[in-house]
Every structure is written in structure tokens, then in C-alpha cells.
Structure 1
Amino acid sequence: MPVYVGLIRAIGPATHARMSMLQLREACARAGLADVASVGNTGNLIFGSEASLVEARTLVQSAVRSFGLDNEVFLRRPVDMLAVIKANPFPAAAADRPHEVGVCSFHVAPDWAPVLSDYDGPEQLAIVGTHLVVAYPAGLAGSRLQIEKRLGATMTQRNWRVFAGLAERAASFGTTS
């Protein structure tokens, strides 16, 4: 059975008041997803489904909406995530400061030109498949990169450690259904 990683955008204390990760797992299971596991408390799911990526995303999105939330859901296949980890465009930063390397996930690859053609840093940028990997030398909080505004595309971002952990866990994830 295919395995997917769900990355739910902007999950935090305000959303936890309306939807716990346990409630989300249960809603996803009721929607027909198999062996739903949440990783951490910030909207990361791993699950199995015979549905296509688009159909599975719709199921998770509906589960989130059932709590009155409109947080956007991004789905990834473990193989695509592992390709980003293998490419590792910023190995020193990923090893020394993994919390300052972000992996941005989009629904589809945007036109990368607006972010790559005229941006002069200080962040370092690399494209791997449909992902944008960003090394933030001064930390994420101080960045003025404005990725979504530059690209005109919605995304969600996970730091290198979290993204790599999800990729590795999903790659070894077995479903019982």
C-alpha cells in the first residue's frame, strides 16, 4: 500500500484548542486512511492509502476541515523526500545547524525564476525536485526572503531535521491494512 507524509500548514496552540493530533488521526482513519501516525505535535502525519496522492490529500484536508480549520495540507511520497535528503545541497549547514535549513514543500513546482533570478541573499537557495531548500545563516526569524510572495505559491516548510526524520520514518513505514 502506498505511504504518504502529510504536512499540515500552521499547526500550533491555536489549532490544538480545536483539534488534537489524536482527534486528527481518528478523523483520518474514519476517512479510510490506514495506520495513521502523527509525528510531533505540529501537523505531521504518516499513513497508508490506496488513493492517489490528490485523493489522499483531499481526505486529509476534509478531516482537518471537519474541525472548522482551513489549514492547508501538503502530501509527499517518501521517495521524493528521500531524494531531497540525498541531494543535501547544504551539507555543512544541515549537519551543524539543521534547524536553520528549511525544506519548502509546494503542491506543484512553481516558476522558480522569481526567487532565484534576483535574490542576493543572505540565504542560500537550492531546488531539489518540487522542493526549495533554504539555508538561513541568520536564522529563519530574521529572514526577509518572503518565499510565497516572490513565487506566488503557497507552501509549508519543515526544518531539515524534521523533514529528514519524516522521510526516514515514512520510508520504513509499514501498513497493516
Structure 2
Amino acid sequence: MPRYVAFFASMNVGGNRLTMAELREALERAELEDIETVVASGNVLFSYDDRPTDGLSEMLAFIVKDHFRFETFAAVRNAAEVRAAIENNPFRDTGEEKLVHTLFLDGEVDEEGFAKLLADHEGRGPERIAKGPRCLYIDYAEGVGTSRLTGDFIERRIGTRGTARNMRSLQRILDKMEE
């Protein structure tokens, strides 16, 4: 059975708090197998029938809404997609691994949205941004916490939701997926 990771957004922030044990229990009821959480920030590894990751994203978001009563987005990727997110990130060799991120999206970014993001961000900070398949690559050169390139800023310009993970977290997740 294929192994997947779900990168949940908006989990354990604001009022959307739940333990990873609660989430794991809800996912087990949905017949996901070999469930394992990695870091308590909404990274869930699981095995499930081979299927497109888009459908799994919708299913997991529904489970969270149904069981915990809040909206979330789950970017589901298989091991090959996580590996590609690491290897294809153009900033991974020139930025710090804790500052270089992949922002996993719930769809493709069109050229118009990406151009708007770049134009609106120009002069706002030192971050570098590149487009990938169902993702953006970002180097938060001076830190994520102080950056003006926030998730809301990005989502308003590209018209799609996302959730980011840094290179260190992605490598740790990929290592676990390939065990």
C-alpha cells in the first residue's frame, strides 16, 4: 500500500487546537493505516489505497471538519512528490535549510497569479520566490517570523490555499516515508 504525507494547514494555531493523538484516532476510523505524526504541527504519514493525492486532500479536510468542527486544508503528497519538492527547490543549496520552504498548494498557480504575487511583493523584503508543480518555493532569507510575505499575502494573490514546510522538516518526513 502506498505511503503518503498530509501537511495540514491551520492546525494548532488560533482556536484550531487538537492533539495529534485525536487526529490519529479520527484518521484510523477512516481506515487509513500505519498512521504516524511527525512533529506536532500537522504532519501525518499514512498508508492508503493507491489514488490521486488531490482526492485524499479533500477526504482528510472533510474528516477534520466533521470530527473537530473547523476548516483546514491538507496537502497530501506521496514520497516521490516530497522528494521532488526538496530536490527541485532552487534555493535549497543557497539558503539556510530552516529558512528555505516549499509552500504546498491545493492547485496549480496560474501565470497571472504568480506574476501578481511577484509584482506585489517587489520591494517588501529579501525573500526569493519560484513556482513549482502545485507549490511555491520560498527562501525567507531573514526569517519567517519577521517576513511580510505571509500565507494570507500569498493566498490573496494566487487564489489558492497552501501550507509551508522547511527543508529540514521535509527531509525528516521523507526519511520516515522511505523507512
Structure 1 residue 67: deviation in Å? 1.4
Q: 1:6 to 1:39 in 2, by over 3 A?
A: same
**Which residue pairs with 2:116 in the alignment?**
114
1:8 aligns with 2:8: yes
Give the aligned partner of residue 86 of structure 1: 87
| Structure 2: distance between partners of 1:108 and 1:71 | 15
2:72 paired residue number: 71
Question: Contact 1:6 / 1:75 at 8 angstroms: preserved in 2?
Answer: yes
- Conserved 8 A contact 2:89-2:102: no
Shift of 1:129: 2.1
Q: What per-residue deviation string (whole Å, max 9, x for no partner) do you get for residues 55-103 of structure 1?
A: 432332233121122122221121011012122311121xxx2221121
What's the counterpart of residue 30 of structure 1? 29
Aligned length: 167
Given that 2:104 and 2:134 are in contact with CA atoms closer than 8 Å, whether structure 1 keeps it comes out as yes
Query: Secondary structure of 1:99's match?
Result: coil
Instruction: Give the aligned partner of residue 47 of structure 1.
Output: 46
Say whether the 8 Å CA contact 1:7–1:45 is kept in structure 2: yes
> What amino acid is the match of 2:72?
N
Aligned residues: CA RMSD: 1.9
Q: Which has the higher contact order (CA 8 A, sep 6+)?
A: 1
The residue that corresponds to 1:134 in the other structure is 138
TM-score normalized with structure 1 length: 0.84
Q: Counterpart of 1:25 in 2: which secondary structure?
A: helix
SS at match of 2:84: helix
Deviates further, 80-89 or 109-118: 109-118
Q: TM-score, normalised by structure 2?
A: 0.83
Structure 1: unaligned runs, 5 residues or longer: none
Please say if residues 104 and 133 of structure 1, whose CA atoms lie closer than 8 Å, have aligned partners that are also in contact: yes
For the 8 Å contact 1:24–1:63, the answer to whether it is kept is: no
Structure 2 vs 1, CA of residues 169 and 132 (structure 1 numbering), >3 Å: closer, same or farther? same
Q: Percent identity?
A: 29
The aligned counterpart of 1:160 is: 167
